[in-house]
Amino acid sequence: DTEVTQTPKHLVMGMTNKKSLKCEQHMGHRAMYWYKQKAKKPPELMFVYSYEKLSINESVPSRFSPECPNSSLLNLHLHALQPEDSALYLCASSQERGTSEYLEQFFGPGTRLTVL
Amino acid sequence: AQKITQTQPGMFVQEKEAVTLDCTYDTSDPSYGLFWYKQPSSGEMIFLIYQGSYDQQNATEGRYSLNFQKARKSANLVISASQLGDSAMYFCAMREGRSGAGSYQLTFGKGTKLSVIP
């Protein structure tokens, strides 16, 4: 199973709503990632979890709150978002770093978020 | 300075012809990996091909090959026999180093939108 799944596929929320994005993988990967991608732009890294611990936070506003409850699941909790947060949110996973620079990241299909 | 440069915002290719998508990179790390991803309009990032900095031979995966010129710091993607389904955005990306927090990160280029014409 080389699949990363994300739910929901589409999400529309108001600025006062609280919602969560979910990501799941069963490849035994111990590194998981959240990316944000605006239209016609490359993905931007938001967070990295390694062995269920937050390893990298790329100065993301606190209205985005990641959570890694176990090695297969990654959540992104959303609260008080702004319209400019509308984007495609991609989850990815990979093996942990080893002795090689090869570290393929497997991406999920993404959640298209619209903030009204 | 940009670490990954893709100079072609958009490309057109006739179906069944070959096409080359350009990518140059900038790093002082002797250990790095170069990746190409395809992103159709549906949004999913699909891994295509990988080239390691120490690999002696150019990588190939089916219709995809990577023209790796280390001295020039270029890693161009060649797609042979283009198909309509190849129409998508293509991103070149680099990972630097084998350890440290930064080694998780993929630095992406701005992408090239490829359109295959029937």
Predicted local confidence at residue B60, as pLDDT: 94
Cβ–Cβ pairs < 8 A, chains A and B? 72
Distance from CA of B116 to the nearest CA of A (A): 18
Cross-chain Cβ contact B105/A92 below 8 Å: no
Residue B39's nearest CA partner among B88, B104, B76 is B88
Q: Which of B50, B91, B105 sits opposite A104 (nearest CB)?
A: B50
HSE-CB at B31 with a 13 A cutoff on CA atoms is 12
Say which of B31, B32, B47 has its CB closest to residue A104: B47
pLDDT, mean over chain A: 91
Model pLDDT, residue B85: 96
CA distance, residue B93 to nearest chain A CA (Å):
10
DSSP result, B32-53: EEEEEEEE-TT---EEEEEEET
Q: Check B104 against A48: CB less than 8 A apart.
A: yes
Mutate to test the interface with A, among B45, B50, B90 (most CBs of A within 10 A): B45
pLDDT in tens, B87-104: 999 999 998 876 666 667
Predicted pLDDT at B96: 84
Residue B36, chain A, CB below 8 Å: the answer is no
Is the pLDDT at A115 greater than 60, yes or no?
yes
- Cα torsion angle, A27, A29, A32, A36, sign: negative
- Residues of A within 8 A of B110 (CB-CB) are 41-42
Per residue in B12-28, pLDDT (tens digit) is: 999 999 999 999 999 98
Average pLDDT over residues B62-68: 97
A59 touching B, CB under 8 A? Answer: no
Q: What secondary structure does DSSP assign to B63-95, as a single string?
A: TEEEEEETTTTEEEEEE-S--GGG-EEEEEEEE
pLDDT category at B34 given cuts 50, 70, 90 is very high
Q: Decide if B94 contacts B105 (C-beta within 8 A).
A: no
| CB-based contact A103 B47, cutoff 8 Å | no
Higher-confidence residue: B67 or A105? B67
- Whether the pLDDT of residue A101 is over 70: the answer is no
- pLDDT(B1) > 70: no
Q: Count other Cβ atoms within 10 Å, centred on residue A91.
A: 26
Identify which of A92, A106, A109 has the shortest CB distance to residue B43: A109
